[in-house]
């Protein structure tokens, strides 16, 4: 039974002209109506729907000299009619707002580094008058963003959904890695720290491995890159001002946890205060929050729980 047929039968029930079979169809529908229909709707939307239902019911319930149904059944069917219309409208509206994808913009002022955490957990450090366009949530097979200027990326690993950065005439495609992109008027540079990236331009593709740098001359007609190997001091300039390096050599856990909090914008608490004095020797660079916490629990035992921006460590001990 489609929506038009159901609406026609429901109107006949309200008018008292429905056949026993038609009335039974509506009875069965009411009996099977999901109680959880409203569970996902915010409280403010529930109240708005309730108010509109009451207005619609009052509008439709008028004195009628010919009443084929008992008064309480008549009101019940009026309520059902309002419910059909308003739940449909309410759920449709809520699903639209809950599932909509909007374009977000992030900016870094001159001589400033601004960190952005993307919906998939990717970390981006925008640098010196740069901007980043990205969706409020990633949909489809690709995770795509658009960069204007310079940024350091630590891309969350997801082989099934490649990450793509559009910058000038070039597109950078990765599965999960860390690299720096600098897009300026005279040249465009990409430096890879970990993983592998594929650079695409109208003239073809180039694959970069760790410790490799591609330089494109923006005004060149062929737009072919020069592949270089940046020095260690040069690589340090790309990560300066970010929380990317997370290598610890016998560092107290209090400092380690503080660095983790700052990098991932979370608050961490532990049920054992003694853990703060323990020393950690580990390289947590280029690791997600979950992987970072897994290393800690494997090192010191215990477990962790993530709830929103709060992290609770349980049972960690170095004694």
Domain 103-239, classified CATH 2.60.120.1440, yes or no: yes
Would residue 140 be called left, alpha or beta, if left means φ above 0 and alpha means ψ between -120 and 50 degrees?
Answer: left
pTM over cut 0.75: no
Domains in the chain: boundaries: 3-99, 103-239, 247-314
pLDDT at residue 39 is higher than 50: no
Of the listed ranges 4-8, 183-187, 288-292, the least confidently predicted one is 4-8
pLDDT confidence of residue 41: 47
CA 39 and chain centroid, separation: 22
Pick the residue with more confidence: 159 or 154? 154
Q: Is the dihedral of CA 124, 126, 130, 135 positive or negative?
A: positive
State the pLDDT confidence band at 197, using cuts at 50, 70 and 90. very high
C-alpha distances in Å from residue 180, one per residue of 108, 156, 160, 193, 194: 15, 15, 23, 8, 11
Would you state the structure tokens that stand for residue 129, as one six-digit string?
A: 């008058």
pLDDT at residue 139 is higher than 90: no
Would you state the structure tokens that stand for residue 152, as one six-digit string?
A: 């350091």
Please state which CATH class domain 247-314 belongs to.
alpha beta
């Amino acid at each position: 039974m489609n929506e038009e047929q159901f609406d026609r039968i429901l109107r006949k029930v309200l008018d008292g002209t429905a056949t026993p079979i038609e009335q039974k169809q509506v009875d069965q529908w009411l009996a099977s109506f999901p109680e959880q229909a409203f569970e996902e709707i915010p409280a403010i939307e529930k109240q708005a729907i309730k108010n509109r239902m009451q207005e619609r019911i009052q509008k439709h319930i008028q004195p009628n000299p010919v009443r084929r149904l008992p008064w309480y059944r008549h009101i019940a069917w009026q309520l059902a009619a309002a419910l059909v219309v308003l739940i449909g409208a309410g759920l449709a509206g809520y699903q639209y707002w809950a599932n909509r994808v909007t374009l977000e913009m992030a900016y870094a002022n001159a001589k400033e580094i601004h960190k952005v955490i993307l919906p998939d957990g990717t970390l981006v450090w925008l640098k010196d008058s740069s901007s980043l366009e990205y969706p409020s949530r990633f949909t489809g097979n690709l995770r795509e963003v658009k960069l204007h200027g310079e940024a350091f990326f630590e891309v969350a690993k997801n082989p099934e959904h490649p990450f793509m950065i559009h910058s000038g005439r070039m597109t950078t495609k990765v599965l999960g890695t860390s690299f720096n992109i600098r897009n300026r008027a005279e040249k465009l540079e990409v430096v890879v720290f970990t993983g592998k990236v594929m650079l695409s331009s109208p003239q073809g593709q180039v694959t970069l491995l760790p410790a490799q740098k591609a330089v494109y001359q923006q005004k060149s007609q062929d737009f072919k890159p020069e592949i270089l190997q940046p020095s260690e001091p040069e690589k340090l300039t790309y990560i300066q001002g970010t929380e990317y390096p997370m290598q610890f050599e016998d560092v107290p856990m209090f400092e380690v946890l503080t660095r983790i909090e700052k990098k991932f914008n979370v608050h961490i608490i532990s049920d054992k205060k003694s853990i703060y004095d323990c020393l950690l020797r580990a390289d947590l660079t280029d690791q997600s929050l979950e992987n970072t916490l897994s290393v800690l629990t494997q090192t010191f035992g215990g477990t962790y729980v993530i709830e929103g921006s709060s992290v609770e460590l349980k049972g960690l001990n170095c004694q």
